[in-house]
């Protein structure tokens, strides 16, 4: 009995030991599993911490925000055991698009720098909801209802917003080529600290770069202000400005074009900058009708075109297509409602001008103000020079009464300098023909025999119409007369001709040819017309002066003749005498001279003496003239028996002198 009991007890103890050992084994197994899980979690955390540390240290090594994003994407793929991914950012310049900043595993389908429409992208939901988006199967998800593209990998993916302290700056998208890979909330938890750190670092670097860029822009603006306040000419200013802009904004081609004053639909190249050879010619004029430039000028605002399309006009071909432009910026030069020209910058890469649109627009406005200021200053200086020229010509013409030909030559020389022309001439109108009087840079000897009829050629047209004319392209003018060039040996390209008018009558014309460095303008016409008016007045004064001198000489001849027959005191009494004692002006008087021959008068005069002779003659003329000869009668003996008598006539022309013989001289 005791033996059986002992056997049973031994069996119970053995079974209990086995259970206890099994329990211990299970406990150790559970502990091992827990330890393994904990180890894996610790290892994962260590990896995450290592990645975060690496990312944090990276910001001290690089100042490139895009490199930070690239490293973030690379580490995110490692943490989630994925092999496809991209990071898209939202640009402040255009929130309607995503810009690809980093990509891995997507090959040619998605590349850095690509732009993706915000509205059609699934990534927009992460931005709108400001929370991660986990998709188990895109084809079964009713929110999207779209087929999966093979190059995006699995039908499951994750979209996580990259959030800075103020806003969402982008979206991280991750997927895998493993068809069995399904993303869960745990993947979100793993990526959250990585993206938070990446967003913080990215934002700090972006702010740092923004501050550096603003500092560079501040220095740039200071240089621009110095340029604007410099004494540079228009060409020097534009050239220096294009170089300064290139130092901050590495564009490939830039040009400033001004609207042509005589051709409103054309632009002239003021200056340009190019990194490579181009066929743009400084000073050449191009029409802008139907071009991108015309669109910009009409809108009167700065435009960024990215990418540049295929232009249809010749100007688009020259500015954009020939330069290989992928993007361009066009800023009109305007002041108020007046447009002066345009600033064009082009680049061979996209996205070059998105951040500088406002800055370049400000520069264009400042350049417009400076150009207008310089033009006004130049206009004042030019006007002062023109007034000085007119004064000099006026002074010369005022003393031109003695040698008008020399003064006319001097006047033409002054015209050549002030208007800046190659040749010119002054022609007088003789009957119905124009005859050249003075010229410069023209074979005047060959032209002296040539006569230009009224209405013939530019000068003849002006003489016939009495109106000034500007011809900046003689080949297109119906008034141009090529025979003149054949006679003179001069090639006329452009002409300005004004009439010389005196007392409402055209007396000649002044014509200048081929303006140097430009075209004839209304200002040139006004100046030449003012000079022509002064010349007309001087010519009229010279004519009047000659007439006055001629009349004075004639009067001296008449006075000399009268003094032979009439005593000086008698002549002075006739000319200057009046009842009120004032000189007589502009009054016509008729004088009758009587040459009387009295027979035997010499003996009588000797007998009675000179005093009685004069008294006798006065009585004689008084009786002989009667009431027909009044006011005064004077006579004296000249020689022998002949006595001249002078009378102011009233009534009949003269009467017979009785028995004596008389004749009217």
Tell me the CATH number at 101. 3.30.450.40
Q: What is the pLDDT of residue 652?
A: 39
In a domain, 394, yes or no: no
Tell me: do 88 and 121 sit in the same domain: yes
Residue identified by tokens 């006569």 is 451
Segment 69-90, tens digit of pLDDT = 888 888 888 888 899 999 999 8
Percent of the chain having pLDDT more than 70?
A: 78
Segment 272-307, tens digit of pLDDT = 999 888 888 888 889 998 898 998 899 989 999 888
Residue 86 and residue 99 in contact, taking contact as beta carbons nearer than 8 Å: no
Tell me: do 20 and 132 sit in the same domain: no
Tell me: do 39 and 72 sit in the same domain: no
In a domain, 555, yes or no: no
Segment 337-352, tens digit of pLDDT = 888 899 999 999 888 8
In this predicted structure, the answer to whether residue 644 has a pLDDT above a threshold of 60 is: no
Tell me: do 184 and 164 sit in the same domain: yes
Tell me: do 314 and 403 sit in the same domain: no
Residue numbers of the domain that contains 297:
235-367
Last residue of a domain, one of 494, 511, 545: 545
CA distance 330 to 323: 15
Percent of the chain having pLDDT more than 90?
A: 17
Q: What is the pLDDT of residue 637?
A: 40
In a domain, 372, yes or no: no
In this predicted structure, the answer to whether residue 438 has a pLDDT above a threshold of 60 is: yes
Q: What is the pLDDT of residue 171?
A: 93
What separation in angstroms does the CA of 332 have from each of 218, 361, 367?
23, 8, 10
Tell me: do 363 and 407 sit in the same domain: no
In a domain, 387, yes or no: no
Last residue of a domain, one of 161, 176, 211: 211
In this predicted structure, the answer to whether residue 508 has a pLDDT above a threshold of 90 is: yes
What separation in angstroms does the CA of 382 have from each of 164, 233, 376, 527?
60, 15, 10, 11
| 511 confidence band (pLDDT: 50, 70, 90) | very high
CA distance 270 to 256: 6
Tell me: do 152 and 242 sit in the same domain: no
Tell me: do 254 and 337 sit in the same domain: yes
Tell me: do 204 and 240 sit in the same domain: no
Please give the tally of structural domains in the chain. 5
Which of 323-327, 488-492, 597-601 shows the lowest mean pLDDT across its residues? Answer: 597-601
CA distance 594 to 590: 13
Q: What is the pLDDT of residue 401?
A: 53
In a domain, 91, yes or no: yes
Cis peptide before 196 (omega within 30 of 0): no
Q: Collapsing DSSP states into helix, strand and coil, what is residue 162?
A: strand
In a domain, 662, yes or no: no
In a domain, 389, yes or no: no
Segment 197-256, tens digit of pLDDT = 788 878 887 788 888 888 888 888 899 989 888 888 888 899 999 999 998 888 999 999
Tell me: do 46 and 67 sit in the same domain: no
Residue 239 and residue 232 in contact, taking contact as beta carbons nearer than 8 Å: no
Tell me: do 68 and 27 sit in the same domain: no
Tell me: do 581 and 515 sit in the same domain: no
In a domain, 378, yes or no: no
């Amino acid at each position: 009995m005791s033996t059986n009991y002992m056997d049973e007890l031994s069996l119970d103890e053995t079974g209990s030991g086995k259970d206890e050992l099994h329990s211990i084994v299970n406990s150790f197994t559970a502990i091992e599993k827990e330890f393994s899980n904990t180890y894996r979690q610790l290892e994962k955390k260590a990896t995450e911490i290592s990645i975060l540390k690496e990312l944090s240290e990276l910001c001290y090594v690089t100042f490139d925000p895009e490199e930070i994003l690239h490293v973030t994407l690379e580490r995110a793929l490692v943490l989630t055991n994925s092999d496809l991914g991209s990071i898209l950012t939202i640009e402040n310049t255009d929130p309607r698009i995503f810009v690809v900043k980093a990509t891995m595993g997507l090959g040619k389908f998605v590349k850095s720098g690509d732009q993706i429409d915000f509205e059609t992208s699934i990534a927009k939901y992460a931005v709108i909801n400001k929370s991660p988006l986990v998709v188990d199967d895109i084809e079964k998800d009713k929110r999207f209802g779209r087929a999966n593209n093979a190059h995006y990998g699995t039908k499951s993916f994750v979209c996580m917003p990259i959030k800075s302290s103020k806003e969402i700056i982008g979206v991280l998208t991750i997927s895998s080529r493993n068809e069995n890979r399904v993303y869960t909330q745990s993947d979100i938890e793993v990526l959250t600290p990585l993206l938070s750190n990446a967003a913080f670092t990215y934002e700090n670097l972006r702010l740092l770069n923004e501050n550096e860029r603003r500092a560079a822009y501040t220095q740039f603006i200071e240089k621009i202000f110095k340029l604007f306040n410099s004494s540079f000419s228009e060409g020097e200013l534009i050239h220096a400005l294009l170089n300064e802009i290139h130092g901050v904004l590495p564009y490939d081609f830039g040009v400033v074009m001004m609207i042509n004053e005589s051709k409103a639909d054309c632009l002239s190249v003021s200056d340009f900058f190019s990194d490579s050879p181009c066929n743009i010619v400084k000073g050449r004029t191009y029409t802008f009708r139907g071009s991108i430039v015309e669109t910009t000028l009409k809108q009167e605002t700065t435009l960024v075109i990215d990418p540049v399309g295929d232009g249809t006009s010749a100007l688009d071909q020259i500015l954009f297509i020939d330069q290989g432009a992928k993007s361009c910026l066009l800023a009109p030069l305007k002041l108020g409602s007046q447009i002066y020209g345009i600033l064009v910058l082009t680049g061979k890469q996209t996205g070059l001008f998105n951040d500088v649109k406002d800055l370049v627009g400000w520069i264009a406005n400042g350049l417009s103000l400076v150009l207008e200021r310089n033009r006004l200053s130049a206009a004042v200086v030019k006007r002062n020079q023109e007034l000085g020229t007119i004064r000099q010509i006026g002074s010369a013409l005022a003393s031109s009464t003695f040698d008008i030909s020399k003064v006319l030559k001097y006047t033409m020389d002054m015209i050549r300098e002030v208007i800046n022309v190659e040749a010119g001439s002054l022609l007088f109108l003789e009957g119905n023909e124009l005859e050249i009087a003075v010229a410069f840079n023209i074979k005047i000897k060959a032209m002296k025999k040539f006569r230009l009829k009224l209405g013939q050629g530019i000068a003849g047209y002006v003489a016939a119409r009495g109106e000034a004319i500007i011809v900046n392209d003689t080949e297109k003018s119906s008034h141009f007369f090529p025979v003149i060039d054949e006679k003179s040996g001069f090639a006329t390209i452009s002409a300005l001709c004004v009439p010389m008018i005196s007392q409402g009558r055209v007396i000649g014309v002044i014509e200048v040819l081929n303006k140097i460095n430009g075209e004839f303008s209304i200002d040139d016409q006004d100046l030449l017309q003012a000079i022509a008016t002064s010349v007309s007045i001087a010519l009229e004064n010279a004519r009047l002066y000659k007439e006055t001198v001629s009349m004075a000489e004639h009067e001296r001849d008449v006075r000399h003749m009268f003094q032979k027959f009439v005593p000086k005191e008698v002549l002075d009494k006739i000319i200057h005498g009046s009842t009120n004692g004032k000189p007589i002006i502009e009054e016509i008087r008729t004088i009758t001279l009587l040459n009387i021959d009295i027979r035997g008068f010499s003996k009588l005069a000797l007998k009675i003496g000179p005093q009685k002779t004069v008294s006798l003659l006065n009585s004689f003329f008084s009786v002989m003239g009667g009431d027909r000869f009044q006011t005064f009668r004077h006579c004296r003996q000249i020689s022998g028996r002949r006595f001249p008598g002078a009378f102011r006539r009233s009534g009949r022309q003269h009467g017979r002198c009785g028995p004596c013989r008389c004749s009217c001289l």
